[in-house]
Structure 1
Amino acid sequence: MAPTERTLYQFPISHYCEKARWLLDAKGLPYTLKNLMPGSHRGVAKKLAKGGGSVPVLVDGSVALGDSTEIALHLERTYPTPPLLPPPGPERDRALELEELFDDAGIHVRRWAYGHIIGSGANLGALMFGEYPAPQRWLGRLLVPLVKRVLTRQYRIYPDKVEESRVKVLAALDRLEREIQGDPSRYLVGSTLTIADITAASLLAPIIQPEGSPYAARADVPMPKALVQMSEELRARPAGQWVLRRYQHDRRQAAAQRPAA
């Protein structure tokens, strides 16, 4: 398969898209990134993947997938080396269970983070569109008021729901610490990186803000006080240290081995 046949349609800031990028990098697969604009992305995603109109969408030759978990399983089936799942058995079942658990937690990470970013008046335009070419950055920043209304409605960013998501995020972190037995050096399942680790680390990254992620602190874009405080508190916990370690070691290693598209 020619490298140009593998394309990931995405939002640069989306943690589900970061999960897909990490999966592709961990497999050592070349791919092209296509950044979509919020709003118009729905039509593109529906046309490509015939799904719900969300990103990421991976087009891999004649196959198009519109869900990060489907992408993970497709890559494991199609490109089994290096493996990101244990052989069939209890460990594989556990890795898939944890992948689903942390994939669900990503919904609450998103709601909690956006709730505070929107509510604080932080520079949403710079956060969302900073990686786009200049014309799209300009258009995106014009669209920020509309984007805020759509995000609020789509993700149900209301005070009671934001608080509910905070509780669920902390529960996910508690579960992570139980799984690693409080040791940030451990992987979630077995002794090597799996789909479960990639899912947990990438989907928790927006509130841990590790270096090497799209969510690392930026001097030009101040974060809301609540997000800064949460990040500091979680970085002191074994779960936060675990996310930092996964980015320092595994994410960096995966990015370094990515072939040119």
Structure 2
Amino acid sequence: MAPSDIALYQFPISHYCEKTRWNLDAKGLSYRIENLLPGPHRQVTKRLTKGQRGTVPVLVDGGTVVSDSTDIALHLEQAHPSTPALIPASGPERERVLELEAYFDEAGKHVRRWVYSTLFTSGADVKPLMFGAFPLPLRLFGHALFPLIKWGIRRQYTLTPHKVEESRVKILEGLDRLEREIQGDPSRYLVGASLSIADITAASLFSPLVAAEGSPYAVQPGEVVPPEIAGFRAAVLARPAGQWLLRRYQEDRRRVARGFSARAEAANG
């Protein structure tokens, strides 16, 4: 399939977009990325979805437009059945994978709220993380828009002390659930003996907590990590759940990322 046949409209640092990138890479599909700036992105996503959604990710697969990372995963299984299956076709394992995918997809909202709130409260400069993947003119435009973007994030994700504390508790519950599902063994997959969309969802949506190499949140040279995030990260990494998250990136994400790079080079060569 030509790279231009599939396009992913996204935010580079969105963990839901990371979920879809991993989904595409794991299925061995070539695609191009269209990075959007927060705020102005709504003009593009609403045009693509005919006014139905203003969020990312949005996938354009030939003549089909799909938004929401879960709907994209379901679409990819139906539209590209010859590629590795990440959702069983039927039976109890399919139900189990979809139930866990839904649970960890919801948990990702709490990760997003807690991380954004903690970064903003700490006074950390999040602009390099948010706009670093854009060319210089868009980076400068993003910096100029940042106060408005920050206000929008606070409002959209309800970054109030009560809600942020609620999300911290939900994150811990999610890590507990993850450890129960893997029976405390970081080498296990959530369902069966191979990677599924349940694993991709849990690993990508919790990835801001561990800053795994190969994730958009890996710590860059000279980057200062706020103490509250560093402390929480250390506590997560000391748990089987944290080690599971690292292993999924070290073993599964790195492998499919290498495969995607090789396919891209072949397509361009």
**Same fold, judged at TM 0.5 (above):** yes
**Superposed displacement of residue 3, structure 1:** 2.4
Q: Deviations over 1:160-216 (max 9, x none)?
A: 111100000110110000000000000000000000000000000001111110011
TM-score (normalizing by structure 2): 0.95
Listed as ranges, the matches of 1:26-105 within 5 Å are 26-50=26-50, 51-80=52-81, 81-105=83-107
Q: Residue 2 of structure 2 contacts residue 30 of structure 2 at CA under 8 Å; is this kept in 1?
A: no
Deviating beyond 4 angstroms after TM superposition, the runs of 4 or more aligned structure 1 residues are none
**Superposed displacement of residue 2, structure 1:** 3.3
Letter in 2 for 1:8: L
**Superposed displacement of residue 217, structure 1:** 1.3
Q: Residue 185 of structure 1 contacts residue 242 of structure 1 at CA under 8 Å; is this kept in 2?
A: yes
CA distance in 2, matches of 1:30, 1:92: 25
Listed as ranges, the matches of 1:235-250 within 5 Å are 235-250=237-252
TM-score (normalizing by structure 1): 0.97
Listed as ranges, the matches of 1:209-248 within 5 Å are 209-248=211-250
Identity of aligned residues (%): 60
SS at structure 2 position matched to 1:239? helix
CA distance in 2, matches of 1:47, 1:220: 39
Listed as ranges, the matches of 1:106-121 within 5 Å are 106-121=108-123
CA distance in 2, matches of 1:223, 1:147: 21
Mean CA deviation greater in 185-194 or 81-90: 81-90
CA distance in 1, matches of 2:75, 2:170: 29
CA distance in 2, matches of 1:47, 1:86: 33
CA distance in 2, matches of 1:59, 1:31: 10
**Superposed displacement of residue 157, structure 1:** 0.6
Q: Residue 17 of structure 2 contacts residue 57 of structure 2 at CA under 8 Å; is this kept in 1?
A: yes
Letter in 1 for 2:171: V
**Superposed displacement of residue 221, structure 1:** 2.9
CA distance in 2, matches of 1:3, 1:11: 19
SS at structure 2 position matched to 1:93? helix
SS at structure 2 position matched to 1:257? helix
Number of residue pairs matched by the alignment: 261
Q: Residue 45 of structure 2 contacts residue 56 of structure 2 at CA under 8 Å; is this kept in 1?
A: yes
Mean CA deviation greater in 222-231 or 196-205: 222-231
Mean CA deviation greater in 80-89 or 167-176: 80-89
**Superposed displacement of residue 13, structure 1:** 0.3
**Superposed displacement of residue 21, structure 1:** 0.3
Q: Deviations over 1:128-166 (max 9, x none)?
A: 001111111111112221111110001001111111000
SS at structure 2 position matched to 1:168? helix
SS at structure 1 position matched to 2:13? coil
Letter in 1 for 2:70: T
**Superposed displacement of residue 86, structure 1:** 2.3
Q: Residue 124 of structure 1 contacts residue 144 of structure 1 at CA under 8 Å; is this kept in 2?
A: no
Gaps of 5+ in 1: none
Letter in 2 for 1:234: V
Gaps of 5+ in 2: none
**Superposed displacement of residue 70, structure 1:** 0.6
SS at structure 1 position matched to 2:215? coil
CA distance in 2, matches of 1:20, 1:74: 11
CA distance in 2, matches of 1:156, 1:221: 27
